[in-house]
């Protein structure tokens, strides 16, 4: 649960595609409250709602397809900065 009562969560999910990226470099240093960049990919040929997850300049994977529709809409509308906290 968040320590800050003003914090709210929109989504709790796994990161899809971890096996395709060199995440171990980042993963061993990743901690709660680190920033992640969420980058929409509306021109992704496999999923027009694709949202890439990046930490410290390294791609970790994607928000799962089953969970990405609302996040992509928010990001593409410019209603939220391209970052999140884990």
Beta strands in 1-86 (DSSP E): 35-41, 50-55, 58-62, 84-85
Name the pLDDT band for 35 (thresholds 50, 70, 90). confident
Does residue 10 or residue 74 have the better pLDDT?
74
Give the whole-number percent of the chain exceeding pLDDT 90. Answer: 29
pTM: 0.75
H/E segment holding residue 47:
none
pLDDT of res. 82: 43
Q: How far is CA 78 from CA 3, 4, 35, in A?
A: 27, 25, 18
Fold annotation for 18-85: Alpha-Beta Plaits (3.30.70)
Q: Burial level of 53, CB count in 10 A (0-12/13-18/19+)? A: buried
Q: Is the pLDDT of residue 48 over 90?
A: yes
Name the pLDDT band for 63 (thresholds 50, 70, 90). very high
């Amino acid at each position: 649960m968040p320590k800050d009562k003003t914090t709210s969560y929109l989504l709790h999910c796994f990161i899809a595609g971890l096996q395709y990226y060199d995440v171990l470099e980042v993963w061993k240093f990743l901690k709660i409250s680190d920033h992640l960049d969420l980058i929409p990919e509306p021109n992704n040929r496999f999923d027009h709602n694709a949202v890439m997850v990046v930490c410290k300049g390294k791609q970790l994977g994607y928000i799962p397809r089953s969970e990405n529709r609302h996040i992509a809409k928010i990001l593409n509308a410019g209603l939220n900065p391209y970052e999140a906290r884990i």
